[in-house]
Amino acid sequence: MKTVLIGVGQAGGKVTSSLVEFDHDMGFNAVRGALAVNSAKADLQSLPIDTVLVGQDRVKGHGVGGDNELGAEVMQADAGEVMAALDGRITAEAEAIVVVAGLGGGTGSGGAPVLARELSKVYSVPVYAVGILPGRGEGAMYQVNAGRSLKTLVREADATILIDNDAWHSSGESLEEGFDSINNSIARRLGLLFASGENVEGVGESVVDTSEVINTLRSGGVAALGYASAQADDDPDTNINVVTSVTRNALLTGTSLPNATKADSALLVVAGKPERISRKGVERARKWVEEETGSMQVRGGDFPLDSERLAALILLGGVERSSRMEEFMRRAKEAREEAKRQQEEREDTDKLFQNDDLDSLL
Ligand code: GDP
């Protein structure tokens, strides 16, 4: 899938850069253009891709400080400038546009839905979002921002692939220490998805086609991505179990949204040396994905890749009714109510000291 990427905000810019790097290192050439957009000048300076600074007249290059309403406003005000910068990058060869953002902050959280809407108005190819959810340990503001942003993104983008920051985070490191490794994990998984259908050398029996990715995401809403790999044997017959077990791991322990296994549609991509991919294994794995997701629409295909390992990549479409999604939206709502309560308490305290019967000392 020939893709143009737009990273909004700090996380968006960093993840987009990791994706560009991965696509380049692997020689896939699925990423056909990339741009990072931010209201914080400092966050753009370290990025190895082209950038656009928004909101300069409102926030003077200092960012919106976690205020996603302001993030949406500055993106709306400067949308013309961002669209102009994209003009030459989104050419007729592009098959999808992908807006990437951390949903818990300000610029990406507020700006990504605005940009998705503007892009959908102008371009006929699908506009997808990749949204990064704050980890459980991040504060209430992040959860509220992410809940509001997600609600809007799901409406404005053709589908939103969600990545929970807790999902691919190795234990023992703090979330921040882990960002680089999380970003590399995101880049590998999303990068393989974008490259599915691009790399057709040594054509296998059923190479994935871009239309399979697009059809899997057609129901819209929230999507998730799973991945796992294992050492493969030379003989495809001994790889039956390798294919079924990497598929199981990809769905049960390797998804970007843990516990999201019920889905409207799914795509199972098996990557590896074509002569090592067991057809029987793929058939069994696909049946198992059908049972596990409860979806009658499980597509599949091979991704010929020169590697000693076999990998399963599973794209799940329409996972918004999963327990993880419900838990997240409930948490965002509770955080919003708690924030409101604290605000009311602060106002009560202010009133208490505005008592005119007493004079202040100074
Ligand atoms: P913005 O610049 O105002 O859009 O804010 P950020 O992009 O920093 O968004 C904050 C959210 O993104 C928080 O939930 C962070 O955990 C997350 N985040 C920030 N940087 C990264 C990163 O490099 N990788 C990942 N995966 N998440 C990040």
Q: What is the CATH number of the domain that holds 45?
A: 3.40.50.1440
Domain assignment present for residue 342? The answer is no
Q: What is the mean pLDDT of the chain?
A: 92
CB 74 within 8 A of CB 54: yes
Domain assignment present for residue 229? The answer is yes
pLDDT band of residue 86 (cuts 50, 70, 90) is very high
CB 161 within 8 A of CB 129: yes
Over residues 142-168, the pLDDT tens digits come to 999 999 999 999 999 999 999 999 988
Q: How far is the CA of 146 from the centre of ligand 1 (A)?
A: 11
pLDDT band of residue 201 (cuts 50, 70, 90) is low
pLDDT band of residue 340 (cuts 50, 70, 90) is confident
Residue 118: pLDDT above 70?
Answer: yes
Q: What percent of the chain clears pLDDT 70, i.e. is strictly above it?
A: 98
Q: How far is the CA of 226 from the centre of ligand 1 (A)?
A: 21
Over residues 205-264, the pLDDT tens digits come to 568 989 999 999 999 999 999 999 999 999 989 999 999 999 999 999 999 998 888 899
Residue 26: pLDDT above 60?
Answer: yes
User: Could you tell me if 156 and 230 lie in one domain?
Assistant: no
Flag whether 263 is marked binding. no
- Indicate which atom in ligand 1 lies nearest the CA of residue 66: 3
> Taking each helix axis from N to C terminus, what angle separates 140-156 and 323-353, rounded to the nearest 10 degrees?
130
Domain assignment present for residue 332? The answer is no
User: Could you tell me if 33 and 110 lie in one domain?
Assistant: yes
Domain assignment present for residue 362? The answer is no
Ligand 1: residues whose CB is within 6 Å? 9-11, 14-15, 102, 104-109, 132, 134, 138, 142, 165, 175, 179, 182-183
Look at ligand 1, atom 15, and give the residue with the nearest C-alpha.
134
State the total domains in the chain: 2
pLDDT band of residue 200 (cuts 50, 70, 90) is low
Domain assignment present for residue 356? The answer is no
Of 251, 249, 278, 280, which Cα lies nearest the Cα of 266?
251
Residue 284: pLDDT above 90?
Answer: yes
Look at ligand 1, atom 27, and give the residue with the nearest C-alpha.
11
> Taking each helix axis from N to C terminus, what angle separates 9-26 and 107-122, rounded to the nearest 10 degrees?
60
Over residues 37-63, the pLDDT tens digits come to 999 999 999 999 999 999 999 999 999
pLDDT, residue 204, reads 47
User: Could you tell me if 246 and 282 lie in one domain?
Assistant: yes
- Indicate which atom in ligand 1 lies nearest the CA of residue 40: 2
Flag whether 10 is marked binding. yes
User: Could you tell me if 309 and 166 lie in one domain?
Assistant: no
CB 89 within 8 A of CB 73: no
For 104, the domain range is 3-195
pLDDT band of residue 20 (cuts 50, 70, 90) is very high
Look at ligand 1, atom 14, and give the residue with the nearest C-alpha.
134
Q: How far is the CA of 42 from the centre of ligand 1 (A)?
A: 14
pLDDT, residue 206, reads 62
Domain assignment present for residue 207? The answer is no
